[in-house]
Chain A
Amino acid sequence: MSGTTIRLKGCRKAFSDGTVAVHDLDLTIEAGETLAILGPSGCGKTTTLRLIAGLERPDVGQVFFGDSDVTRLPIERRDVGMVFQNYALFPNLDVAGNIVYGLKVRGVSPAERTKRCSELLELVGLQDHGKRSIHELSGGQRQRVALARALAPRPRVLLLDEPLAALDAQLRERLRSELAQLLRGLGITAVFVTHDQGEAMALGDSILVMEHGRVAQLASPRDIYQQPANAFVARFVGNLNAFSVIEHTPHGLKVSGGELPWNGADLPATVYCRPEHLRVMDSEGHLHGRLVGQFFQGAQSRLLVDVGAAQPLLVDSTDSAIHAPGSLIALAVEPQVLFTLSS
């Protein structure tokens, strides 16, 4: 299966009540790439997916699959596979009936259909479930059937609308890695929508973060996390410590609780870092403060350290040492994990 490049050129979509869901969106998704569209509800991510699918038509702008303009084509002529949020399996058909539906529509011969159906059942690990009714399936099984059904006609593009949102946490984690493996293996161009940053990071080759119908940032998961384009992206993809700079010193930046190493040329008013980039030290550190809270989270613990700023610092530590409440904590930080944000 090979992918198709998807291009959106200046796509805008407003709804009948006047709210603009997507503002003049330009976007290129390379062939074979998996793009995660991430954002809070109402940010336009689902509308973007539906524009690509052909379930919505842009008011202005064009959609291209490869070199062909598909803006005017309805979904049934775009050759896409889609996994819906609640899977939308046909309750009147059994599992196999659902999977071969797209093949039947395309006039594939019964023998070929049966062959393809067993291929796909095997791909999603449901070999013996072909004759099951949809009502007998668990949530995870339904998700797999929906995926198999979407893939059966060998679509050019695979679209997934919150594919794991309807599952419980443990199952979601497992299916997430399964899905990631599957998408990599197929090499199909895939776009999926999610509000879960962990899912976006695990599955996406690149992530498009949307805010109020506009692109906030389009980058690799690593860049989104480590070099967020603005405060919205930074806060949406993880927790954040902010340091207000009191004054610039020859070797760094003076902030509440100590001095941060800084070798950037610019002299920012605020610098940021992620909670896991603050290291708890035995005695010497860049920052010193008092422990005001400690939460055991299994693999790591989260410490709240008051350094005299408005908010206590968040520190994620894999060190299992237990500190007494109110004890003095020394924290160290590497200069390269500090970043600034344009607001």
Chain B
Amino acid sequence: MRRSTLFVGQLAFTLLVCAFMLVPVVMSLLAGLTRNYFQGLSSGLTFDWLVQVWQAYSPTVWLSLQLAVACALCVCVVGVPAAYALVRMNNRFSRAFEELMVLPVAMPGLASALALLLTYGQFGGFRSSWLFILVGHVLFTLPFLVRPVMAVMQRQHLPVLEEAAASLGAGPIRRFFSVVVPNCRAGILAGVLMVVTLSLGEFNLTWMLHTPMTKTLPVGLADSYASARLEVASAYTLIFLLMIVPLLVALQAISARLSRGANR
């Protein structure tokens, strides 16, 4: 079958765009594995840089993971009841609150961080602990959990399910945990993965909020780009991608399942 010229043109354009976006990633990955980037691949491949990064920066990896998990927990504890309250109220106030919640996402991270520093900077113990960064991350990622959870809640006919639970003797708290939460599991899971992903990669806020003792992975990355060999920084990127890509794949799978559920 002969393809039209238009098809060939479109295919070429698509491949070009893909290449434009993917080649830098591949280059970076290769750089992290090349013995000497300036001599090119002919200098041979090595895991030395990865080892070196791990020796110098492994604390940042652990701190980032710790932050991401803690952030997901906090956002769940705050966000799920918040989403529930917003869906139930559904008035002018709740819509205004929803907008307000998105503000830290819309604002430059540096500005939010500065506001946090101005307000809480004088509490030395808090300022120098990783909890300070956690607060920033929670502020920034909260809407990314609340939004999908709200969407699922609005779809699930929750009010009548709750009335059913109440008619069977369940009080408000029991209803929340036995009816509301289980029926929003998919939304909560999608939100949590999004929050973990965002928290792992967050740089703007973190860069302002960190101390030399509380460096996260992205901050360490910036550090290594500024001070170490290009190969080290690239190897660092490789480690970051190894962490984040499985998360993104899971996120995609869940949102596919969610949209299937919506069509049922």
Question: What residues make up the interface of A, taking CB atoms closer than 8 Å to B?
Answer: 53, 55, 74-77, 79-82, 84, 86, 88-92, 101-102, 105-106, 135, 149-150, 153, 159
Q: Are B170 and A76 in contact (CB under 8 A)?
A: yes
Nearest A-chain residue to B159, judged by Cβ: A88
Nearest A-chain residue to B172, judged by Cβ: A76
Which chain A residues lie closer than 8 Å to B229 at the CB level? none
Which chain A residues lie closer than 8 Å to B167 at the CB level? 53, 75-76, 80-82, 150, 159
Tell me whether A91 and B169 are in contact in the complex, defined as CB-CB below 8 angstroms, given that A75-B163, A84-B163, A105-B174 are known contacts: no
Q: Are A90 and B161 in contact (CB under 8 A)?
A: yes
Nearest B-chain residue to A82, judged by Cβ: B167
B168 within 8 Å of A (CB atoms): yes
Nearest A-chain residue to B184, judged by Cβ: A92
Given contacts A84-B160, A88-B161, 9 further A-B contacts (CB under 8 A): A76-B167, A76-B168, A82-B167, A88-B157, A90-B165, A90-B182, A102-B168, A102-B169, A105-B170
Partner of B168, one of A86, A91, A153, A159: A153
Q: Are A101 and B165 in contact (CB under 8 A)?
A: yes
Q: Are A76 and B171 in contact (CB under 8 A)?
A: yes
Interface centre among A82, A84, A90 (most CB of B within 10 A): A90
Partner of B160, one of A88, A92, A102: A88
Which chain A residues lie closer than 8 Å to B169 at the CB level? 76-77, 79, 102, 105-106, 153
Tell me, rounded to whole Å, the shortest Cβ–Cβ distance linking B77 to chain A. Answer: 21
Nearest B-chain residue to A102, judged by Cβ: B168
B239 within 8 Å of A (CB atoms): no
Give Cα distance in the complex from A135 to B261, angstroms: 12
Which chain B residues lie closer than 8 Å to A89 at the CB level? 164
Partner of B179, one of A53, A90, A149: A90
Q: Are A101 and B168 in contact (CB under 8 A)?
A: yes
Give Cα distance in the complex from A86 to B164, angstroms: 11
Which B residues from 75 to 103 make CB contacts under 8 A with A? none
Partner of B166, one of A76, A92, A135, A149: A76
Which chain B residues lie closer than 8 Å to A55 at the CB level? 163, 166
Give Cα distance in the complex from A79 to B163, angstroms: 13
